[in-house]
Structure formats: structure tokens, C-alpha cells
């Protein structure tokens, strides 16, 4: 739980930093430009669009990666869930059997005490 909070805090700080960098680099005239060579010429991109593109690429690739891992480990998660359920049921059965045996022993002790008194 603590590590989840730390990851959320780090992501929030990085997002605020990204928003700040985007704000500072929004104006094309005051920032560096990236030239992308095409067949017909070049396209100039401001740092704003490059940072925004990198951010969205990271978000998209993280989403795809988590989907791939989720589908890969889904069978294992279901297997362990079934195993845990079986162990829980078996534990409950064992507890019930133990209680039944304890009641039988108690009734046998009472019967033995009564038999010894009536002797």
C-alpha cells in the first residue's frame, strides 16, 4: 500500500513537471525547434509538441504493456484464486471435523465418568 502511494506521488510530480515544461515551451519563437525531414521538405515542431508526443507515447506504451501482462498472468491469477478457495474450504472442513471429534470425546468422557460412578 505504501509503495502504491509513492508511485502515485512520483507520477503526480512528473505530470506537474510535464505541464510546466509544456507551458514554458509552448511559444515556438522562444524555444528550440525540431526539424523532421520529409520527402517534400521539412516540418518544424516546437519542443511543446515533442514533449507532448513523448508523454502520450509513454502513456500508451504503459497501457499496452499492462494489458499484455494482464492477459499473460490472468490464467495464473485464476489458478491461485481457485487454489486459495480450495484451501479455504478444506480448512473449514478440517475445523468442522475437529469440532465434531472434540464433541465426541467430551461425550465419551461424560459416559465414562457416569459408568465409573455407577459401578
- Sorted by where each begins, the domain ranges of the chain are 2-117
Encode pLDDT of 12-48 as tens digits.
888 888 778 777 766 655 556 666 677 777 666 666 7
Could you tell me if 48 and 26 are in contact, meaning their C-beta atoms sit under 8 angstroms apart? yes
> Looking at 24-28, 33-37, 73-77, 102-106, which range is the least confident one?
24-28
CA distance 106 to 92: 21
* Highest-scoring range by mean pLDDT, 37-46, 71-80, 97-106: 97-106
**pLDDT bracket for residue 96 (50, 70, 90):** confident
CA distance 43 to 53: 15
pLDDT of 7 reads 79
Could you tell me if 70 and 64 are in contact, meaning their C-beta atoms sit under 8 angstroms apart? no
pLDDT of 32 reads 63
Amino acid at each position: 500500500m505504501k509503495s502504491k502511494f509513492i508511485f502515485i506521488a512520483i507520477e503526480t510530480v512528473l505530470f506537474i513537471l510535464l505541464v510546466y515544461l509544456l507551458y514554458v515551451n509552448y511559444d515556438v519563437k522562444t524555444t528550440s525547434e525540431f526539424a523532421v525531414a520529409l520527402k517534400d521538405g521539412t516540418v518544424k515542431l516546437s519542443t511543446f509538441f515533442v514533449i507532448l508526443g513523448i508523454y502520450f507515447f509513454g502513456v500508451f506504451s504503459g497501457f499496452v504493456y499492462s494489458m499484455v501482462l494482464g492477459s499473460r498472468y490472468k490464467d495464473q491469477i485464476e489458478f491461485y484464486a481457485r487454489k486459495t478457495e480450495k484451501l479455504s474450504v478444506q480448512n473449514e472442513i478440517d475445523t468442522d471435523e475437529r469440532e465434531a471429534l472434540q464433541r465426541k470425546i467430551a461425550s465419551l468422557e461424560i459416559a465414562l465418568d457416569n459408568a465409573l460412578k455407577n459401578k
